[in-house]
Amino acid sequence: MAWSWSGVATLAGNLLPFVGLIGGPVANITLAISRAILDVEAAVRDTGAKKKQRAVEIVGSLVEAAEGITGRDMLGDALVAEATAACIDAEVALRNAHAHLAEVVVDYKLRRDAAEAAEVEAGTG
C-alpha cells in the first residue's frame, strides 16, 4: 500500500493542536514560532532581517496573549527572548537546508537524465 503524502501532511496538520498538550508551554511557543515563520514567508516581501523581525513581533504578540492569561511577565525575561530568537534562527536554517537539498535532488535528476539521454543517443544505453 502506497502512502499518500498529502494525507500524511493533512494528518500532521490535524495533530498540531495537540502538540501543546504533550509538550507543554515550550511546544506551544515552538509551534507558534513555526506558524509565524510560515505566515511571514507567505505575506512579507522584505529582506531576511526584516522577515525575522516580523516573526519576532508575531511571536511576541502571542506571548503577550499568554502573559495575559497566565499573569506572568515572559517577554521581560531575557532568556525567553533569546530562546525565541534562537528557535526562529533554527527554523529558518532548517527551511533553508531543505530548500538546498531539494535543489541538489533536482540537479542530480537533471544530470542523470542528461547522461541517460547521451547514452541512448550514442547507442550505448
pLDDT tens for the chain, residues 1 to 125: 455 555 545 555 555 555 555 556 667 777 777 777 777 777 777 777 887 777 777 777 777 777 777 677 766 777 777 877 788 888 888 888 988 999 999 999 999 999 999 988 888 75
- Give the closest residue to 34 by CA, choosing from 84, 103, 77: 84
Say how far apart CA 94 and CA 80 lie, in whole Å: 21
Q: What pLDDT is recorded for position 57? A: 78
Q: What pLDDT is recorded for position 2? A: 53
The grid cell for 7 is 494525507
Say how far apart CA 62 and CA 56 lie, in whole Å: 10
